[in-house]
C-alpha cells in the first residue's frame, strides 16, 4: 500500500480553502493509501502564539479532521510535538539545506517582503522541518494545496541529496494537488489566497463560521461586470472561485454547473453557492460539536503518536547511523 503524509498548522481559523485544498483530499484517499495526518503544531510556533489559543486551535483542528470525515481507524492522526523524531530529523534536514534554497522559498520571501519585523529563525528553516515530516514516513505522496508545492519540492531535493550523499534512505515524495480547488481565493480579493490569517474576515469562510454569516459572505463576494456565467479564472477570477467552491462541495463537474447557469444571473448562482456552503457547514458543525463534547480526542492522539513513533524512530536511527551520529 502506498503511503501519504500531510499536516495542517493549528493557527487561526481553519478555512474552506483548507478543507477543499487539503482535507477533502485526505478523505478521498483514506481508503486507498496508508495515511499519516498530523497537526503541525511545531510549525505553528514559527510565529508568536498565545499558548491558550494554540491549545484551543489544536483541539479544534483534530475535531474538525474527524468531523470532516477522517477515520482514525484508517488514518494515523497525531500531534507533531508528540513524535520527537520530527525535530530530530528536522535538524539533520536543516544541516542539509542550503541557505540559497531557503532564501527562494516564496512563503518566507513574501513575509519578509511585507517588512514584518522580528521574523524568527524557525520561520526561515521551517521548510527543512517540513521535509523531515514527510521523509520520516517514506511518503510516496503528499496531498497539499498549491501554496505548499514548493515546500514538497524541497523535500524531494533533500531526499535525493541525502540518498546520493550516503545511500538510498528516503522515498522521494510527490506532491498531490486537487484538479479543482488547489487554490481557493479570498471572496473579497479573488487574486489573493483565502487564508487562515486573512485580515479581512469577509473574504474568508472559516469552517466554524455561523452558517448564516458564511452565506452572507458568499452573497457579497466580489465578482465582475461581464454579466455572463463562465469558468475563466483569468478573466473572471471571483466568479470562477465561486464555481470551484460549488463544484467541490456538490461534486458536480464545473462544465455542468456552467451549462445549468446559461443565461442566468450572478445572484442566482451566488444563492446556490451560499445555500450549499450553509448546509455543508451546518452538518459539519453538528458533528464537530458532538466530537468536542466527547472524550475521544486524547485516545486518538495517543494511539496515533505511538504508531507514528514506531516508524519515525526507526527512520531516525537509520539516518543517525548513516550520518555517523550514532556509534553502534
Rounded Cα–Cα distance for residues 188 and 203 (Å): 5
For residue 51, the minimal CB distance to ligand TYM (Å) is 19
Surface-to-core class of residue 273, CB atoms within 10 Å of its CB (0-12 exposed, 13-18 middle, 19+ buried): buried
Nearer CB in complex with ligand TYM: 134/273: 134
Question: Is residue 194 a known part of a binding site?
Answer: yes
For residue 83, the minimal CB distance to ligand TYM (Å) is 12
Count of CB atoms situated within 10 Å of the CB of 313: 15
For residue 195, the minimal CB distance to ligand TYM (Å) is 6
Question: Is residue 4 a known part of a binding site?
Answer: no
Nearer CB in complex with ligand TYM: 133/270: 133
Q: Return the ∠ at Cα 143 (arms to 272 and 270), rounded to 5°.
A: 10
For residue 187, the minimal CB distance to ligand TYM (Å) is 11
Q: Which three cell numbers stand for residue 306?
A: 505511538
Question: Is residue 122 a known part of a binding site?
Answer: no
- Residue nearest ligand TYM, CB atom distance: 21
CA quadruple 109, 115, 120, 121: dihedral sign: positive
Active site members: 111, 193, 196
Question: Is residue 18 a known part of a binding site?
Answer: yes
Summarize as ranges the residues that interact with ligand TYM (CB under 6 A). Answer: 5-9, 17-18, 20-22, 40, 43, 130, 133-134, 142, 144-145, 147-148, 151, 182-184, 193-194
**Beta-carbon contacts of residue 120 (< 8 Å; ≥ 6 apart):** 46, 47
CA quadruple 218, 198, 248, 282: dihedral sign: negative
Binding residues for L-tryptophan: 133
Binding residues: 9-11, 17-18, 133, 145-147, 184, 193-197
Amino acid at each position: 500500500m502506498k503511503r501519504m503524509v500531510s499536516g495542517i498548522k493549528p493557527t487561526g481559523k481553519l478555512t474552506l480553502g483548507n478543507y477543499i485544498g487539503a482535507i477533502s483530499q485526505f478523505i478521498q484517499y483514506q481508503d486507498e493509501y496508508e495515511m499519516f495526518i498530523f497537526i503541525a503544531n511545531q510549525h505553528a510556533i514559527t510565529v508568536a502564539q498565545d499558548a491558550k489559543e494554540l491549545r484551543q486551535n489544536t483541539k479544534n483542528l483534530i475535531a474538525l479532521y474527524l468531523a470532516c470525515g477522517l477515520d482514525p481507524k484508517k488514518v494515523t492522526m497525531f500531534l507533531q510535538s508528540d513524535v520527537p523524531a520530527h525535530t530530530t530529523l528536522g535538524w539533520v534536514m536543516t544541516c542539509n539545506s542550503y541557505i540559497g534554497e531557503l532564501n527562494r522559498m516564496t512563503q518566507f520571501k513574501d513575509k519578509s517582503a511585507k517588512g514584518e519585523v522580528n521574523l524568527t529563525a524557525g520561520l526561515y528553516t521551517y521548510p527543512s522541518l517540513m521535509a523531515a515530516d514527510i521523509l520520516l514516513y517514506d511518503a510516496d505522496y503528499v496531498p497539499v494545496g498549491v501554496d505548499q508545492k514548493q515546500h514538497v519540492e524541497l523535500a524531494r531535493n533533500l531526499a535525493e541529496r541525502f540518498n546520493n550523499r550516503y545511500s538510498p534512505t528516503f522515498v522521494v515524495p510527490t506532491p498531490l494537488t486537487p484538479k479543482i480547488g488547489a487554490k481557493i481565493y479570498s471572496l473579497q480579493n479573488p487574486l489573493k489566497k483565502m487564508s487562515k490569517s486573512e485580515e479581512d474576515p469577509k473574504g474568508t469562510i472559516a469552517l466554524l463560521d455561523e452558517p448564516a454569516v458564511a452565506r452572507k459572505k458568499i452573497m457579497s463576494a466580489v465578482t465582475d461586470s461581464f454579466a455572463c456565467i463562465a469558468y475563466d479564472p483569468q478573466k473572471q477570477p471571483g466568479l470562477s472561485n465561486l464555481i470551484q467552491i460549488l463544484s467541490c462541495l456538490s461534486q458536480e463537474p464545473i462544465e455542468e454547473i456552467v451549462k445549468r447557469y446559461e443565461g442566468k444571473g450572478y445572484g442566482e448562482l451566488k444563492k446556490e453557492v451560499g445555500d450549499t456552503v450553509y448546509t455543508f457547514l451546518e452538518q459539519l458543525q453538528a458533528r464537530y460539536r458532538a466530537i468536542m463534547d466527547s472524550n475521544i480526542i486524547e485516545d486518538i492522539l495517543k494511539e496515533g503518536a505511538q504508531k507514528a513513533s514506531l516508524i519515525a524512530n526507526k527512520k531516525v536511527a537509520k539516518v543517525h547511523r548513516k550520518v555517523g551520529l550514532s556509534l553502534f
